[in-house]
């Protein structure tokens, strides 16, 4: 994806400078908390660690903390820009550690060109960290630094620039050779680029089974041959060969494999044509490969190719390696990352690529299916299964080779990895990926609003929706220009001079003439942009409506209820929130928005709609009908109502996992249910919570968000005949994007429903959200 300079600078500068922060894991709200977090309570773990140093893993965060250390001498493609200028890269590395493997990181920028000083800094910091990730240090200094640290430190030390590429391309190599039917000990490989990554990758390939004598290195001076003096060092000397070949073009004749870690356009089509049958080409120069995917495919139809780019098949991305390698090493308190652990990571990635790919992963990449083959050699970076497969393989190798200080049961460990990130990392994107499969037209009545404009830009850029902005055209364009937001891909409709205005007025009058609206009043009502937007959806000129950042909830929903109406067979609309806890647990809460005191029958509708919403998020619903009593221990009309709703629900959908009435704490406690209520259907606890009234639901979701610090998506309006979603006035740009994605998915599903212009339904009293 193309990123402009200003977009990149805006991303890094606001709203908070940088990309990382520290979040406490213990409370510090009371005097007692303070005395525990610091003096005098903190003295006790200090004394325990003094007696038993390994207890630092028990009483501190050291076991999940990695240092990303750099002196900025080889930063990406920028070269020696210095330690300070390289800090954004190191923060970025920290984000990837946390996002993909839940590893905490401090980035350490060391202002020195002396490798011994880098070594000394790392050695002095050993008590602080569980591991050291060396980053962007020039060759050959990086070899010397890593070797020295591995000899002198008792925690994992790993230079990602060397070994990350080796691990990921190693997996691609194993699978590519399997596909073309060649033996690893017989293939001839040409490397172009003899820096840190090239040398380490070649050594890794040898450990995988490649014969060292079958490897030829080239660099800016040509072939690395025995006796060459210019541009040599001890690390290149290891791979110097006795040959008369002197150029890259000569070396590639008859080669089975090319690995490029060099520069753009280093390889020509003629060079690729000269390779053996079924050539394997890893062109990994960034941002532009040694030969483009198109050029390589054009000259060899039998080629198997990988690059470092996300817009071509088989992206070699180091994020498939370092987060999960450290995750496995940290979790067994490994004293090193040894070669067996790297090999285990490679083989785990190669094996995972042969497994069926989940639909959720395919949707991320906008394809119907990913299957092991020439264009899918290795897993994709956003495949959540990598965490379990690779980290557990690394941990197993660490235990097998004796560097694990805290061995684990692998089956239990895999379960822990599944729970570490939970569903939270998928939930917020699930609807977006579904929306991207078939973007729909979403009308935004508040088209002049800054947050709406920014959100719509994201919707277009990510191909989630086709926004329609309602408002004054000149104002919208002026605001967009001020915000540097492109309006490309968006439609602007000014209700004051729309070609459809008169038709909408006549249809509005037809819909509302028996509800006290005259033709003159219809002419006035159409000026309300929520009314106009609702008419667009009703008439089929838009697929969904999203509004509410500048208005009260009733003012937004009322026109939709009057014009678009409820879905056939429904008597009430209702509101749902998706709650994502810090532990990654996902809950659905309803009705948070509309119905003040729903009847038992209305609770059934709310529960069925919310269970369906859980299915949309690819979560199996377990529905708890909440009350202040559990299974009849209190006799009260509210409890009776909820009990009646449970019986009706079981009749309405016998396949639904549902129980009640039940108190919220019991519903969320699998242990309590198992021990005290073994007869309950809610084995494992509930994830869909249906409240007996609006007050309890609305209060609960707001408390959980404000006090609990949980994330939420919503409100999601359920039961409308066409998609309408109401935003909170405090909604962020990201939340607007999320709600719009849900609206698109609603519209996709709605394609299978009829949308009658006339619908007999009781208009509900409009209350709730603000």
270: helix, coil or strand? helix
Distance CA 389, CA 383 (A): 11
SS (H, E, C) 741-759: HHHHHHHHHHCCCCCCCCC
DSSP 72-138: SSSBTTTBS--TTTTHHHHHHHHHHHHHHH--EEEEEE---S-HHHHHHHHHHTTTT-SEEEE-S--
667: helix, coil or strand? helix
Token pair of 70, please?
Answer: 């750099």
Compute how many other C-beta atoms are within 10 angstroms of the C-beta atom of residue 186.
Answer: 12
Residues classed as catalytic: 38, 93
Q: What is the DSSP letter of 763?
A: P
| Closest to 389 (Cα-Cα) out of 318, 306, 328 | 328
Look up tokens 């990392």; give the residue.
425
Q: Is the dihedral of CA 86, 318, 370, 263 positive or negative?
A: positive
Q: Dihedral of the CA atoms 82, 88, 92, 98 (nearest 10)? A: 100
Report the length, in residues, of the chain. 770
Distance CA 500, CA 493 (A): 10
DSSP 178-213: HHHT--TTT--EEEE--SHHHHHHHHHHHHHT--GG
Q: In sequence order, what are the residues at sequence separation of 6 or more whose Cβ sits closer than 8 angstroms to the Cβ of residue 308?
A: 284, 285, 286, 287, 289, 315, 316, 317
Look up tokens 């000397």; give the residue.
237
Strands 491-493 and 222-223: unpaired
| Closest to 568 (Cα-Cα) out of 419, 456, 721 | 721
Helix 160-180 and helix 339-352, axial crossing angle in degrees, nearest 10: 40
Distance CA 343, CA 48 (A): 37
Q: In sequence order, what are the residues at sequence separation of 6 or more whose Cβ sits closer than 8 angstroms to the Cβ of residue 390?
A: 320, 321, 324, 325, 328, 345, 348, 349, 352
Measure the CA angle with vertex 411, ends 409 and 415; round to 5°.
110
Token pair of 566, please?
Answer: 């409820």
Q: Give phi and psi for 59, each to the nearest 5.
A: -105, -5
């Amino acid at each position: 994806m193309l990123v402009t300079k200003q977009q990149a600078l805006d991303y890094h500068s606001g709203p908070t400078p940088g990309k990382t922060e520290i979040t406490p894991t213990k409370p510090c709200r009371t005097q007692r908390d303070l005395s525990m977090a610091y003096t005098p309570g903190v003295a006790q773990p200090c004394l325990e660690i003094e007696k038993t140093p390994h207890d630092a893993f028990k009483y501190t965060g050291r076991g999940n903390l990695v240092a990303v250390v750099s002196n900025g001498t080889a930063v990406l493609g920028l070269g020696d820009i210095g330690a300070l200028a390289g800090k954004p890269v190191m923060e970025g590395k920290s984000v990837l550690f946390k996002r993909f493997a839940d590893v905490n990181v401090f980035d350490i920028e060391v202002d020195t060109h002396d490798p011994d000083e880098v070594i000394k800094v790392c050695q002095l910091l050993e008590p602080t960290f569980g591991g050291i990730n060396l980053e962007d240090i020039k060759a050959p200094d990086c070899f010397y630094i890593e070797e020295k640290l591995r000899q002198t430190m008792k925690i994992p030390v790993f230079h990602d620039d060397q070994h990350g590429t080796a691990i990921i391309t190693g997996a691609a190599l194993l699978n590519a050779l399997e596909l073309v039917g060649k033996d690893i000990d017989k293939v001839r490989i040409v490397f172009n680029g003899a820096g840190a990554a090239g040398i380490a990758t070649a050594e890794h390939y040898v450990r995988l089974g490649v014969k060292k004598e079958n490897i030829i290195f080239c660099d800016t001076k040509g072939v690395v041959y025995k006796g060459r003096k210019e541009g040599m060092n001890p690390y290149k000397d290891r791979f110097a060969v006795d040959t008369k070949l002197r150029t890259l073009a000569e070396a590639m004749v008859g080669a089975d494999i090319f690995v490029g870690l060099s520069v753009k356009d280093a390889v020509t089509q003629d060079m690729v044509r000269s390779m053996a049958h079924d050539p394997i080409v890893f062109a990994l120069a960034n941002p532009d490969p040694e030969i483009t995917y198109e050029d390589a495919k054009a000259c060899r139809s039998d080629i198997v190719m990988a690059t470092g780019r996300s817009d071509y098949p088989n992206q070699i991305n180091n994020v498939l390696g370092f987060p999960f390698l450290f995750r496995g090493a940290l979790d067994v308190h490994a004293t090193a990352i040894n070669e067996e652990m790297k090999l285990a990571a490679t083989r785990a990635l190669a094996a995972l690529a042969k497994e069926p790919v989940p639909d959720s992963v395919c949707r991320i990449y906008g394809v119907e299916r990913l299957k092991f083959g020439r264009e899918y050699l290795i897993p994709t970076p956003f495949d959540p299964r990598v965490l379990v497969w690779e980290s557990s393989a690394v941990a197993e190798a660490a235990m097998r080779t004796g560097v694990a200080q805290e061995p684990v049961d692998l089956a239990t460990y895999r379960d822990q990895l599944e729970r570490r990130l939970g569903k939270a990392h998928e939930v917020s994107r699930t609807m977006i990926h579904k929306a991207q499969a078939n973007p729909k037209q979403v009308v935004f009545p508040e088209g002049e609003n800054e947050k709406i404009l920014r959100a719509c830009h994201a919707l277009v850029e990510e191909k989630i929706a086709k926004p329609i902005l309602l408002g004054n055209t000149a104002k919208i364009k002026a605001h967009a220009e001020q915000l540097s937001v492109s309006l490309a891909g968006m439609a602007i409709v000014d209700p004051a001079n729309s070609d459809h205005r008169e038709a909408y007025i006549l249809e509005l009058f037809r819909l509302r003439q028996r509800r006290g609206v005259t033709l003159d009043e219809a002419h006035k009502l159409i000026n309300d942009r929520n009314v106009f937007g609702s008419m667009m959806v009703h008439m089929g000129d838009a697929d969904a409506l999203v509004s509410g950042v500048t208005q009260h909830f009733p003012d937004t929903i009322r026109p939709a209820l009057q014009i678009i109406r409820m879905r056939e067979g429904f008597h009430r609309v209702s509101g749902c929130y998706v709650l994502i806890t810090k532990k990654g647990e996902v809950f659905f809460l309803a009705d948070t928005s509309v119905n003040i005191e729903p009847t038992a029958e209305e609770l059934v509708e709310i529960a069925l709609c919310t269970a369906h919403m859980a299915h949309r998020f690819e979560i199996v619903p377990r529905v708890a009908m909440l009350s202040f009593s559990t299974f009849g221990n209190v006799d009260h009309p509210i409890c009776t109502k909820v009990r009646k709703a449970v019986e009706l629900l079981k009749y309405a959908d016998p396949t639904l996992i549902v129980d009640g009435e039940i108190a919220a704490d019991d519903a969320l406690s699998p242990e309590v249910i198992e021990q005290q209520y073994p007869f309950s259907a809610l084995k494992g606890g509930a994830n869909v919570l249906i409240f007996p009234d609006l007050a309890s639901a609305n209060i609960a979701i707001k408390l959980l968000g404000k006090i609990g610090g949980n994330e939420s998506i919503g409100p999601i309006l359920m039961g409308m005949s066409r998609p309408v979603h109401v935003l909170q006035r405090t909604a962020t740009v990201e939340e607007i994007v999320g709600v719009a994605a849900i609206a698109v998915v609603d519209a996709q599903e709605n394609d299978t429903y009829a949308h009658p212009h006339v619908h007999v339904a009781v208009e509900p009293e409009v209350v709730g959200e603000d």
